[in-house]
Structure 1
């Protein structure tokens, strides 16, 4: 129904990149992300589609889990009206979805510095002086490399950050001396 509304030009969607394909929704196992222009008409169309879907499937929005994220350019009156009508809460840009940041600003290094912090936390907690070389190898391959891999499945990490993570792994492998 969302795709049909987009084809009829009733929903605008959001462009993935400047001049790119416009998306109206992403579906996950038990989540749905809906994208649209923050206008009253577009919100009412989305709301109507969700109501029809709810009646047909007996699956309705969980108001406690429903979150709305607005662009910084959306007028505060429009934000309040949509939030009040849908009964959800407004999300700020700093929050995460599935452990990943929703918005990445100009500094990708700063946005993903959490990856380096998580790697360092894992490495510093292990007592590497008691591990054999094969034990270190298993920990690096099974645990440490998995942390940035999850992030890299969605985002391209900055080279500087990748180099710093590789350096931490090398120091762990060879000893922190």
Structure 2
């Protein structure tokens, strides 16, 4: 079970993730759980109890080494330390990656997405284009190179400049 988010609340109410977005209190995916909430000492203890009860009833365990807490920028250091002590989870400064897709918690810029261009460039450097026919180069570019950003594009708007850079690399490969 993975655990991310600012998780403490005065009430167990959902969090509005954006002005026009959905209210969310948690997300489940396979064996992962993400809980969103406001900061509060009392409810951090309740959350710890809820997780303990869930584990006792279900037979599952929370892996504290793989379980993380992410606090928003306005939470002071002493409160963070207190809450981390109650929960016993590791604090992280970003959401990391999930299924190899970075989970962003700030504005996505071109510099953040440069890893896509670098991934395409590294894939190209491992191929010997001179030994491939034109049709094989086109097939490789379409199936492999241009599919690299498509998975991320399902959840994130990728800037046109990043897409243009990837297409330019593919054209040079031809």
TM-score with structure 1 setting the length: 0.84
Asked if 1 retains the 8 angstrom alpha-carbon contact of 2:44 and 2:87, the reply is: no
Q: After superposition, give the CA deviation of every residue in 1:142-169 in whole Å (9 maximum; x if it has no partner).
A: 2112210111111110111111111111
CA RMSD, Structure 1 to Structure 2 (Å)? 1.8
Counterpart of 2:120 in structure 1 is 119
Asked if 2 retains the 8 angstrom alpha-carbon contact of 1:39 and 1:78, the reply is: no
5+ residue gaps in structure 1?
1-8
Counterpart of 1:13 in structure 2 is 14
The structure that is helix-richer by fraction is 1
Q: CA deviation at 1:123?
A: 1.2
Asked if 2 retains the 8 angstrom alpha-carbon contact of 1:96 and 1:102, the reply is: yes
**Structure 1 CA distance, aligned partners of 2:166 and 2:117?**
6
Asked if 1 retains the 8 angstrom alpha-carbon contact of 2:121 and 2:169, the reply is: yes
Asked if 2 retains the 8 angstrom alpha-carbon contact of 1:109 and 1:158, the reply is: yes
Q: What secondary structure is seen at the aligned counterpart in 1 of 2:168?
A: helix
* 1:153 matched to 2:149: no
* 1:76 matched to 2:77: yes
Asked if 2 retains the 8 angstrom alpha-carbon contact of 1:13 and 1:24, the reply is: yes
**Structure 1 CA distance, aligned partners of 2:120 and 2:169?**
8
Counterpart of 1:102 in structure 2 is 103
TM-score with structure 2 setting the length: 0.86
Q: What secondary structure is seen at the aligned counterpart in 1 of 2:140?
A: helix
Q: What secondary structure is seen at the aligned counterpart in 1 of 2:107?
A: coil
Size of the aligned set, in residue pairs, is 165
Higher relative contact order (CA 8 A, sep 6+): 2
Q: CA deviation at 1:53?
A: 1.3
Asked if 2 retains the 8 angstrom alpha-carbon contact of 1:104 and 1:111, the reply is: no
Q: CA deviation at 1:28?
A: 0.8
